[in-house]
Structure 1
């Protein structure tokens, strides 16, 4: 088991260079030239050894004048911080809150602070969907809810959930459910089945 006190600078430096997450929470490293401190697992560019100081806790680093890294968030009180998980969570929340707006992938990526390419790749790796497909699923679930709980017609439902044309709504709905919006409403009313929506 690693000892918090008896770490040589060489061991801590090796853990920093190799981004060893097993040392997260045991020490932090700070870089004089940037004024930032990080977790050992941080994927930031490896600094020059002579510019690095080590601290046993984040408060000591902050008291010494260093700011927490925005990538690895050493200021958060958690053993392991997964920035990619936070990116996915923020993206999902943004899409859920703004699904009615016609947000482009570029706009979504810009709001969560990464490139379109990076967001598309990470989001698909973590969820199995691209942000656009996830947006479509959110919209279709909202459409199902409206079809079952209101008297709005299919066209009105499509516009209400953010589609700019009836055909794009119809195609998205059929792609996700296998039914047209009117078939879905008729089928559900006929069977009167209360299925829980995702």
Structure 2
């Protein structure tokens, strides 16, 4: 286990990852610490940030350290069950909801097609990933409206809404009251 992590990725390994070089498959695997997913070097997913990459000599070692196999490249033909995969996506959204996020960026992050991610997430959670994201943003905004004196525009921006008018419309649709009147209910 002293192979984890390789602190300085050998340039030849990084080149293999960057170029999706299949000649390195089964020679090493790489894990991305932000998503806890590991891949073959030939994986066609977006190239990760080099600072977030760990190198493993065997797929089993990646599993032992809590990394899950990629849905796209299926290293060693291992496949993460849909429920666990969706929970990883939910955890990611919960931690990064304030960032700009699209179905495309989620599918790239979680090594899947947009269609597969949308369909699987909907099947497991009963809602789309973007509906889940909006719900997290709105419930967080509601909590901030109740418990802080931050201006509504600041809260809107803090929870990831790029447009204050859209935030107000979405909030009213979800809570049946405007953000301003919601805050007044708790004062």
Report how many residues are paired: 116
Listed as ranges, the gaps of 5+ residues in structure 2 are 1-24, 27-59, 61-74
Distance (whole Å) between structure 2 residues aligned to residue 175 and residue 119 of structure 1: 26
Kindly report which structure 2 residues correspond to 1:23-62, keeping only aligned pairs within 5 A, or say none: none
State which of 64, 76, 79 in structure 2 corresponds to 1:71. 79
Q: Distance in 2 between matches of 1:173 and 1:89?
A: 25
TM-score (norm 1): 0.55
TM-aligned CA deviation for residue 68 of structure 1: 4.6
Post-superposition CA distance 1:126-146 (Å, at most 9, x none):
111101110000001110111
Q: Distance in 1 between matches of 2:89 and 2:171?
A: 22
- What is residue 185 of structure 1 aligned with on the other side? 183
TM-score, structure 2 as length reference: 0.58
- Cα distance in 1 for partners of 2:110, 2:139 equals 24
Which gives a bigger RCO, structure 1 or 2 (Cα 8 Å, sep 6+)?
2
| Cα distance in 2 for residues equivalent to 1:107 and 1:133 | 15
> Partner of 1:152: helix, strand, or coil?
coil
Query: Is 1:143 the counterpart of 2:151 in the alignment?
Result: no
Extract unaligned runs of 5+ from structure 1.
Answer: 1-33, 36-58, 60-66, 73-82, 190-198
1:166 matched to 2:174: no
- Compare CA radii of gyration and give the structure with the larger one: 1
Kindly report the root-mean-square deviation, in angstroms, between the aligned alpha carbons of the 2 structures. Answer: 1.9
